[in-house]
């Protein structure tokens, strides 16, 4: 669990667009392979954005499906709190071409979920209402100009395609999302981990890390420490957080209708230098809010910076609105090109 893909066995996975930069994490290995043309299709896991961040950094398409539509059986970690874990954790497709997303999702979705997803159903673009935010007023970090331009580029295009005037939203009500999503996720009891599922042993491992004797990464150890702290926190405090989370959910649910979408930056920056992204961990709220809400999200690459680094946006819909975000992904690919070869292949 990290914003980078690195471990003590294999080392650090690099971004094929610039090997001095990270591919993101935690599904960064697959994103890097796909971007480099070394893999045809792939599967990623998304908990706090760990499928979408690598897709954004590497310039590929990645989809976090509606929770529960794709089985996570056999995936590590597992959890005995099915309902809470399924909302926060999803498995989804990662591809180079947007036109592969629906087909791949249909294949990996649970049989009983395929009909509910209705991926072959027609989407009337003229019925879609568009909301967007550049997140320029977020207290943790304002998106750079590349990422804001990407949002405006997509909004301007869909204004013409959908024939409706996009509505800019005020994102102030979700400013506490980094804190809320971390607490919400790490407070789920019974998650399988390298300690005992509740963080026991993490403090000992932290001491070993301080003396260069730990076999684990710092990020993993800190997740264990936080889990131990949160699970042992007073129930009253945890209930207070859940109430705030429910208010955030209601705010989004009241805004987005069944045919509506939200367009937001995938992250406030393009791929960063190795190690730098960990300083941006507070920005995980750009991604984790939709795990908190249980909404489907598609990461869409829509261009590159002057340095050739991919930049993307997230298209969000209500649960089981996957076919809407995937249809719009195909529209954006047809208009902007999508994946770009990092070099001559």
pLDDT digits (tens, 9 = 90+) for 230-242: 667 777 777 777 7
| Domain ranges, residue 62 | 6-172+257-336
Q: Provide the 8-state DSSP code for 284.
A: G
Check: CB of residue 322 under 8 Å from CB of residue 66.
yes
Answer with the residue of higher pLDDT: 163 or 315.
315
Considering only 107-121, 164-178, 236-250, which range has the smallest mean pLDDT?
A: 164-178
Phi (first) and psi of residue 4, to 5 degrees: -125, 165
Q: Mean pLDDT score of the chain, rounded to an integer?
A: 85
In this predicted structure, the answer to whether residue 129 has a pLDDT above a threshold of 90 is yes
- Comparing 6-15, 43-52, 212-221, which segment has the lowest mean pLDDT? 212-221
Task: Report yes or no on 64 lying in a domain.
Answer: yes
pLDDT given at position 73: 77
Write the DSSP assignment of 8-21 as a string of letters. TTTEE-EETTEEEE
In this prediction, residue 172 has a pLDDT band, given cuts at 50, 70 and 90, of low
Give a yes or no: residue 237 inside a domain.
no
Instruction: Report the C-alpha gap between 328 and 152 in whole angstroms.
Output: 15
**8-state DSSP, 190:** T
Which of 9-23, 97-111, 192-206, 254-268 has the largest mean confidence?
Answer: 97-111
Q: How many residues does the chain have?
A: 345
User: Is residue 155 a part of any domain in this protein?
Assistant: yes
Residue 22: helix, strand or coil by DSSP?
Answer: strand
The verdict on residue 239 lying in a domain is no
Greater confidence, 5 or 45?
45
The whole-number pLDDT of residue 136 equals 58
| Residue 51: per-residue pLDDT | 96
**pLDDT at position 44:** 95
- DSSP designation for 191: B
Distance, CA of 292 to CA of 166 (rounded, Å): 24
Across 230-258, average pLDDT:
80
Tell me, what's the pLDDT at 208?
A: 86
Predicted confidence (pLDDT) at residue 166 exceeds the cutoff of 70: yes
What's the mean pLDDT in 156-171?
Answer: 90
> Is 80 exceeded by the pLDDT of residue 118?
yes
Least confident residue range of 42-51, 161-170, 234-243, 272-281: 234-243
Lowest model confidence (mean pLDDT) among 86-95, 137-146, 149-158, 224-233? 224-233
Q: Is 199's pLDDT higher than 70?
A: no
Q: Is residue 233 part of a domain?
A: no
Q: Does residue 223 have a pLDDT over 80?
A: no
C-beta atoms surrounding 189 within 10 Å: 14
Q: What is the CATH number of the domain that holds 16?
A: 3.90.1300.10
Q: Is residue 214 part of a domain?
A: no
State the pLDDT at residue 110: 96
In 3D, which of 309, 306, 302, 284 has the Cα closest to residue 141? 284
Two tokens at 154?
């997509």
Q: Find the range with the poorest average confidence among 227-241, 242-256, 286-300.
A: 227-241
- Predicted pLDDT of residue 81: 63
pLDDT of residue 99: 97
- In the chain, the number of structural domains is 1
Q: What is the pLDDT of residue 191?
A: 64
Model confidence band, residue 313 (pLDDT cutoffs 50, 70, 90): very high
Per the model's pLDDT, the better-predicted residue between 211 and 92 turns out to be 92
Of 29-43, 266-280, 303-317, the least confident: 266-280
Residue 221 has pLDDT above 60, yes or no: yes
Within-domain flag for 232? no
Average pLDDT over residues 21-40: 94
Domain assignment of residue 238, yes or no: no
pLDDT top residue among 145 and 283 = 145
Q: What is the pLDDT of residue 139?
A: 47
**Residue pLDDT, tens place only, 53-87:** 999 999 999 999 999 999 877 766 665 666 666 67
């Amino acid at each position: 669990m990290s914003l980078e893909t690195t471990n003590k066995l294999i080392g650090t996975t690099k971004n094929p667009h610039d090997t001095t930069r990270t591919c993101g994490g935690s599904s960064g290995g697959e994103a890097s392979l796909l971007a480099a043309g070394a893999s045809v299709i792939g599967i990623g896991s998304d908990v706090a954005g760990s499928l979408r961040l690598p897709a954004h950094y590497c310039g590929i398409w990645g989809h976090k499906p509606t929770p529960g539509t794709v089985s996570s059986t056999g995936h590590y970690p597992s959890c005995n709190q099915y309902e809470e874990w399924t909302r926060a954790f999803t498995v989804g497709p990662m591809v180079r071409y947007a036109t592969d997303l629906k087909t791949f999702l249909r294949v990996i979705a649970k049989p009983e979920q395929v009909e509910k997803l209705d991926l072959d159903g027609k989407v009337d673009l003229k019925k879609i209402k568009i909301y967007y935010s550049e997140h320029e007023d977020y207290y943790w970090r304002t998106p750079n100009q590349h990422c804001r331009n990407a949002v405006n580029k997509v909004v301007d295009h869909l204004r013409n395609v959908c024939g409706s005037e996009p509505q800019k939203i005020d994102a102030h009500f979700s400013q506490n999302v980094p804190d809320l999503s971390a607490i919400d996720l790490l407070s789920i009891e019974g998650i399988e981990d390298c300690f005992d599922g509740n963080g026991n042993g993490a403090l000992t491992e932290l001491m070993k890390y301080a003396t260069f004797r730990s076999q684990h990464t710092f990020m993993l150890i800190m997740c264990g420490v936080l889990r131990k702290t949160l699970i042992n926190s007073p129930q009253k405090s945890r209930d207070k957080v859940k109430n705030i989370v429910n208010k955030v959910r209601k705010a989004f649910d009241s805004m987005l209708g069944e045919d509506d979408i939200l367009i937001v930056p995938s992250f406030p920056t393009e791929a960063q230098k190795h190690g730098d992204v960990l300083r941006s961990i507070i920005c995980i709220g750009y991604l984790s809010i939709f795990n908190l809400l249980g909404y489907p999200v598609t990461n869409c690459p829509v261009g590159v910076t002057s340095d050739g680094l991919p930049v993307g946006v997230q298209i969000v819909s209500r649960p089981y609105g996957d076919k809407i975000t995937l249809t719009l992904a195909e529209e954006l690919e047809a208009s902007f090109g999508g994946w770009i070869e990092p070099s001559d292949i």
